[in-house]
Amino acid sequence: MKLLGMMLPLLVSLSLLSGCGEKEKFIVYGSPENEKEVEAILKEQDFVDKTTVIQYDNSMLVAVQIKPWDKWKKKKLEKKLQKKFDEKYPNKDVFVSTDYKIFYEANKIKKDQVEDNKLKDKIKKLKKLAKEET
């Protein structure tokens, strides 16, 4: 009985922590106009591990982390996801990247809560960074 009394708080805290981890897998920053639709598109892709989506004006940056077993097909999966977003949002300028440096910088923008007037410049720099060969 003593053992159960000691283990119960540990089990409760672990279950709470595991529930919090799931929420952080899909982050949408900027205008929340179609947050649920974007999240639904990303959740139906079994190769997506984590994402950060930044929406601004009439544009959207989708930074995606691919699950480890699918990393060999990153470019193919990136094109597949880009096509899905282009079909769903034909009037938006959508940029999808599976590059970790883009994902990292997108999270940094979210964390720093960059203002709208600076957001456009930051996104332009990220797109330019994505096109660089490393």
Mean pLDDT, consecutive 10-residue segments, the chain of 134 residues? Answer: 49 47 66 80 90 86 88 88 93 90 88 77 82 67
* HEC secondary structure over the chain: CHHHHHHHHHHHHHHHHHHHHHHCCEEEEECCCCHHHHHHHHHCCCCEEEEEEEEECCEEEEEEEECHHHHHHHHHHHHHHHHHHHHHCCCCEEEEECCHHHHHHHHHHHHHCCCHHHHHHHHHHHHHHHHCCC
